[in-house]
Amino acid sequence: MSECYYSPAGPRDGRITLGGAEARHVSRVMRHQRGDKIVVVDGLGTEFDVVLEAVRPNEVVGRVLAAATGRREPRHSVTLALAVLKGDKLALACEQAAELGISRFIPLKTERTIGRLSAARLERLQGVALAAMKSCTRTVLTVIEPVQDLARLASRAAEYGQALVAYEDEYESGLDNVLDRRASSLLLVVGPEGGFAPDEVRVLNSAGVKSFSLGPRRLRAETAATTVVVSAMQLLGDLGGRNAPEQP
Q: Which residues bind a second copy (CB under 8 A)?
A: 71-72, 92, 95-96, 99-101, 135-138, 171-177, 212-220, 223, 226-227, 230-231, 233-235, 237-244, 246-248
Q: How far is the CB of 99 from a second copy (least distance, A)?
A: 5
Strand-strand pairing, 46-55 and 37-41:
antiparallel
At closest approach, how far in Å is the CB of 96 from a second copy? 5
Cα atoms in the Cβ-side hemisphere of radius 13 Å centred on 211: 19
**Closest CB to a second copy among residues 64, 239:** 239
Task: Using the minimum distance from each CB to a second copy, give the nearer residue, 32 or 89.
Answer: 89
24/45 with CB nearer a second copy: 45
Angle, vertex CA 74, rays to CA 88 and CA 156, nearest 5:
70
Q: Which is nearer to a second copy, 149 or 246 (CB)?
A: 246
In angstroms, give the least distance from the CB of 47 to a second copy. Answer: 13
Compute the least distance from the CB of residue 135 to a second copy, in Å: 7
The CA–CA distances, whole Å, from 220 to 136, 204, 217, 235 equal 25, 21, 10, 22
Give, as one character, the DSSP assignment of residue 159.
G
- Say how far apart CA 223 and CA 226 lie, in whole Å: 5
